[in-house]
Amino acid sequence: GENVEQHPSTLSVQEGDSAVIKCTYSDSASNYFPWYKQELGKGPQLIIDIRSNVGEKKDQRIAVTLNKTAKHFSLHITETQPEDSAVYFCAASWDNFNKFYFGSGTKLNVKP
């Protein structure tokens, strides 16, 4: 089955700096890569996603890049704010999107 690895496990940045979280996947059939943000006491919330026919996608301060050849994708957050502090999960999916395989999560701490 699919195996998704995520790094780093924790990331601490100063407010206003950029943060980058990286994931690698093993199954070349995976074709959908979402990113979720999980705030304390809440369920994961989709923040951005990318499909395998696209190399990069942006939404305001967040962006995701995908390198299909190398089988890795990354989340970029620019101009970080304290409210960006949360756990971020990447995931990979195939099989008509019915099953997601999640990375182990990155705890992002944005220091004011």
Partner 1 sequence: DSGVTQTPKHLITATGQRVTLRCSPRSGDLSVYWYQQSLDQGLQFLIQYYNGEERAKGNILERFSAQQFPDLHSELNLSSLELGDSALYFCASSVDGRADTQYFGPGTRLTVL
- In angstroms, give the least distance from the CB of 28 to partner 1: 19
> From the CB of 31, what's the least distance to partner 1, in Å?
11
Residue 53 near partner 1 by CB under 8 A: no
Task: Identify each DSSP E strand in 1-112 by its residue range.
Answer: 4-7, 10-14, 19-25, 32-38, 45-51, 56-59, 62-67, 72-77, 86-94, 99-102, 106-111
Give the whole-angstrom CA distance, residue 68 versus residue 26.
Answer: 11
Q: How far is the CB of 7 from partner 1 (least distance, A)?
A: 13
42 interacts with partner 1 by CB under 8 A: yes
Binding site for partner 1 (CB under 8 A): 32, 34, 36, 41-46, 49, 89, 93, 95-105
